[in-house]
Chains A and B, each alone.
Chain A
Amino acid sequence: MDLSFVLLELALNSLDAGATLVKATLKVGRRATLKVKDNGAGMDRETLSRACEKGFSLKGSGGIGLYQVSAAAEEYGGKFSIRSRKGKGTTATFKAKGINMGDVAKTVAVLLSDGANLILKAKAGKNSVFVDAKRFANELGAPLNEPATIVAIKRYINENLK
């Protein structure tokens, strides 16, 4: 598990909860922090209390995604927490020490394909990127989930976030 996979798990949950906007902030150094905030359906108290339980899922599938994320936070001496309100969206925060960044561009490619807007601010040492996918797509004159848009954004991330 690296940060790019944590981002994928969290943001896919956002999209599956109907989010039209996902804001992700990533800071990578000796300590890493990843925050994913969405405007999706949110969770009630009971669902939230069970969200990281192994085998618990609202999608009728495995129920291992958030369990894996919280296990990774523990493994890397960090913490994983979720704040959520039904109807108001969810904010998930992942903190860890010494975890690899992984391939953020490949994760972003998957997230963009749904057509929802993604805003990503990422900083790794001196390098940083700022992706406002909808604005990028407008500038490029192409839909957000068009392969040419996705590949351009991937290259932008790979060139600027090393």
Chain B
Amino acid sequence: MKKSIADIMAIRESMQSQIILRDNVDAEKEIHIIVGMGTCGINAGAREVFNALVDYVEEHELKGVRVTRTGCLGDCDDEPMIEVHVPGKEKEIYKKVTAEQAVEIIKKLAK
């Protein structure tokens, strides 16, 4: 355990990003991206999409974007699907999303 703690601390020190303390983020202004992670989604690549989004949030220190997962979003043939909730706007649903497309979506949102 000691070794793994030392390893993780060394890795964290080598990372450039700051830790985002979400207590300071106004929840009403937060953009929420939800990835459908039922088996249908996973089989179609949802895990890769999810990881691309989390990596982007970390790398670019996006304070106002939260990425979570849910179960099947209902249209198994259209997975991977993501829902984007922007405060004050209608929910947007993207279908058959690749990891690359997910990054393009989050880039536009973060502007």
Contact = CB atoms under 8 A, between A and B. Distances in A.
Given A110-B37, A146-B20, A61 B72 contact: yes
A8 B40 contact: no
Chain B: interface secondary structure?
Answer: helix
A76 interface: no
Nearest to A103: B47
A160 B1 contact: no
Q: Size class of B's contact patch? A: 35 or more
A16 B54 contact: no
A33 to B, nearest CB: 21
A8 B42 CA distance: 9
A156 to B, nearest CB: 5
A142 B59 CA distance: 16
A148 B19 contact: yes
A135 B47 contact: no
B11 A113 contact: no
Contacts of B67: 113, 147
B53 to A, nearest CB: 9
Interface in A117-157: 129-132, 135-136, 139-143, 146-156
B7 A156 contact: yes
Contact of A139 (B9, B17, B21, B48): B9
Nearest to B12: A152
A136 B39 contact: no
B35 to A, nearest CB: 8
Interface in B35-75: 37-40, 42, 47-48, 50-51, 54-55, 57-59, 67-69, 71-72
B24 interface: no
11 contacts: A8-B47, A61-B40, A61-B72, A64-B40, A65-B38, A106-B48, A106-B51, A109-B51, A110-B51, A135-B5, A148-B18
Given A151-B59, A152-B8, 14 more contacts: A61-B71, A61-B72, A62-B39, A64-B39, A106-B51, A109-B54, A113-B68, A148-B17, A150-B58, A151-B54, A152-B11, A152-B15, A153-B8, A154-B51
